[in-house]
Each structure stands twice: as C-alpha cells, then as structure tokens.
A and B are shown apart, each in its own frame.
Chain A
C-alpha cells in the first residue's frame, strides 16, 4: 500500500522534536471505523475489503512454503488479486470517512475488523487452503457478478474487475479440490477433513448487509446468493468424491467485530511496521 497520511507523519515528527517516545503521539483509531459508528455503506465496503485483505494475507503466507514453484506463484497471484480488491474498497470507504487506505488497513485493532471468520482461520494444510478458497470464491463470484450492476459507480467498477479475478480463483481452487478429493487416500482424507472443519464457517458469508443499501441496488443481497453458492459447491464436491457436511450450527461474529484469537496474531504481523514506526513511508 502507499505511504501513510501527512498527519500521521507530522505526529511522528512532533514526537521526535519533543524528545519523548512516539507512543504518546500514536494516531488514534480513525473515528469512522470505530465500533458502532460506521454508516451502512462504509460498513458494507469494509466487510468486503476486510474479507479480501485478510484472505489475501493468509494466502501470502504460503510464499516460500508452497508444494510446487508453480503453485507458489499461483497463490501469490491470487493473494495480490485480493490485496488489490481490498485497496480499491478501502479507497472507496475512505472517500466517505476521510481516511486513507493505509489508515484503514494498519490502524484498526481486531474488534474493528469486519471480515467473516472463515478468512482469518490459519492456512492449515494445502487441502484446507484450497477448500477455503473454493467455499469463499463460490460465494464471491455470484456476489461480484451481481455487484457489476450496482447503482454505485465505484462499486460497479470494483466488481467488474473482481469478477474476472474471482472466476479464476474459483476455477483454480475447484480443480485442486477435485484432484485432492479424488486422489490418494491421504489427500482424500485431508480434503474431507478440511471441508468438514470449514463448513460451520460458511453460514456467515450470507449475513445480510444494510437493508436500505440492498433495496437501493447499491450492494447485492448475500442471502440471495445461497442457491448459486450451493450449486457450485455441490458440483465440485461430487466431482471430488467428497461428502457435503450437514448444515448445522453456524459460526458468526466476524461481521460485527467478534473474532477468533487468530486475527490478532495476523494483524500483529500485518501492522507491525506502522505500529512500531508510526507514519513511516516508503
């Protein structure tokens, strides 16, 4: 992402001149993204942006650890697609709140993030990473496809770009999950374990956005995408010879800022430089 805001670096310089530690001058959390006072549209943008940045960060963790050089590049490509989507969405949200994309990404603590919990779960093994990408992409593709017709020009433009990217993510994840599920006994077991473990986190993908935004045609209604999601997921699971888990109790909380313990650790790495050296630019 780009450099920090002018005011943040000014605060840092002020600390240096006064000869005291920078801690007193750390920029406060941006007001608009504090708990409870985000407008509907900002919240809707943050949900999508946080989904993209957190999953993008998780995928970037594979860099240097992927099973094949080819897959290393594929995962990094997908991570960069997500980070690009997050930047565009944060820029759109920041236009409403007066913040930069960097303030939104680097200066919020875990309770201020609005990503679905499925995004922040640790990568697990390769099967878990691919099963998550499939489950998320099977939702994201119809979401962005519908959002291409948004009455908000900024969202429609982001959607037009994201739709093509997500279409490839879905294809990539599905091809891998099919081969893992229909592969060796071990790859089948790992793929089934991954789908079983992830299933309770899929319900949160469909949690509703602000009613008024949906009615104004600004964002698609996630709840209306269940059939499209199920069709994609079911067809892939059949080809992968995997069993679709029963729909039971679903995890939730991320959309309202109640996260797993994993998000804090992720943010510690994601935000380290801006937290340790507030206002630093490069």
Chain B
C-alpha cells in the first residue's frame, strides 16, 4: 500500500486525513477514536462508520479534516502545563464533606 502519511504524497492529496469522533451509546460527548483517509466529507463519514463502528460502538459520528485542527506545540509543554503541577489546591480535595451528604 502506498505511503499515505507523507504530506506531499499523491494519496494525501486525493484522500486526505480526517479525524473521527464517536458518541457512544452511553456517552454524552463525542470522543476522538482515530482517523481515516477519504476523498471528501461524505466518504470520510462512511469510512469512519466502516472502520470504527463495526461492533456497535456508536450512535453518532463526527469527522473533521485533520488539517483544520490547531494543535499545541509539543515544545511548549513545559510552559503550558508544568505550572499547574504545583497548584494542587485546584483539585477539589480540600473540602470536608458533611456526613449528611453521604456518598458523592
């Protein structure tokens, strides 16, 4: 099979990449499950159905062109995410739950 991942390969031009999101039977939100190659949005939806819902996984599918997703730069990881590591008070674990509330 031709390499369809190289950005300038013929396959990436004729069948670009789409990210697939599925809402499961019990879930409220669409969750990212993977990606498919397809020529256009209609075929991408069909491909997502054929690849990712073979075992009754979903009730709804979203597909989004992969190149429409704006991603954070992995090099920014320390700047963006490390400062939160020391702020444990943001987790709701410092409240005393009154006995009357029972299980939360």
A interface with B by C-beta (< 8 Å): 68-71, 73-74, 77, 171-172, 175-176, 179
Chain A contact residues: helix, strand, loop or mixed: helix
Give Cα distance in the complex from A105 to B98, angstroms.
69
B42 proximal to A (CB < 8 A): yes
Give the one of A171, A175, A176 with max B CB within 10 A: A175
B96 proximal to A (CB < 8 A): no
**What number of A-B contacts does a CB cutoff of 8 Å give?**
31
Which chain B residues in 56-87 approach chain A with CB under 8 Å? none
Give Cα distance in the complex from A77 to B54, angstroms.
8
* Contact partners of A176 in chain B: CB under 8 A: 43
Give Cα distance in the complex from A70 to B40, angstroms.
13
* Contact partners of B42 in chain A: CB under 8 A: 175
Chain B residue at minimum C-beta to C-beta distance from A176: B43
B36 proximal to A (CB < 8 A): yes
Give Cα distance in the complex from A69 to B4, angstroms.
11
User: 7 more A-B contacts (CB under 8 A) besides A70-B37, A70-B47, A176-B43?
Assistant: A68-B4, A68-B15, A70-B36, A71-B47, A74-B46, A77-B50, A171-B46
Give Cα distance in the complex from A175 to B39, angstroms.
11
A-B contact pairs, 11 of them (CB 8 A): A68-B4, A68-B47, A69-B37, A70-B51, A74-B47, A77-B54, A171-B46, A172-B46, A179-B39, A179-B40, A179-B43
Q: A175-B42, A175-B43, A179-B43 are in contact. Are A74 and B50 (CB under 8 A)?
A: yes
Q: Determine whether the beta carbon of A175 is less than 8 Å from that of B51.
A: no
* Contact partners of B51 in chain A: CB under 8 A: 69-70, 73
Chain A nearest CB from B45 CB (Å) reads: 10
Give Cα distance in the complex from A227 to B50, angstroms.
30
* Contact partners of B54 in chain A: CB under 8 A: 73, 77
B22 proximal to A (CB < 8 A): no
Chain B nearest CB from A57 CB (Å) reads: 19
B1 proximal to A (CB < 8 A): yes
Q: Determine whether the beta carbon of B50 is less than 8 Å from that of A73.
A: yes
* Contact partners of B4 in chain A: CB under 8 A: 68
* Contact partners of A68 in chain B: CB under 8 A: 4, 15, 37, 47
Give the one of A68, A69, A74, A172 with max B CB within 10 A: A68
* Contact partners of B39 in chain A: CB under 8 A: 179
Chain B residue at minimum C-beta to C-beta distance from A78: B50
* Contact partners of B43 in chain A: CB under 8 A: 175-176, 179
Chain A nearest CB from B33 CB (Å) reads: 14
Give Cα distance in the complex from A71 to B40, angstroms.
14
Give Cα distance in the complex from A100 to B47, angstroms.
35
Chain A residue at minimum C-beta to C-beta distance from B47: A70
Give Cα distance in the complex from A127 to B36, angstroms.
21
Which chain B residues in 24-57 approach chain A with CB under 8 Å? 36-40, 42-43, 46-47, 50-51, 54
Chain B residue at minimum C-beta to C-beta distance from A66: B1
* Contact partners of A73 in chain B: CB under 8 A: 50-51, 54
* Contact partners of B37 in chain A: CB under 8 A: 68-70
* Contact partners of A175 in chain B: CB under 8 A: 42-43, 46
Chain A nearest CB from B49 CB (Å) reads: 8
Chain B nearest CB from A240 CB (Å) reads: 14
Give Cα distance in the complex from A203 to B42, angstroms.
31
Give Cα distance in the complex from A68 to B38, angstroms.
9
* Contact partners of A74 in chain B: CB under 8 A: 46-47, 50
Give Cα distance in the complex from A270 to B34, angstroms.
35
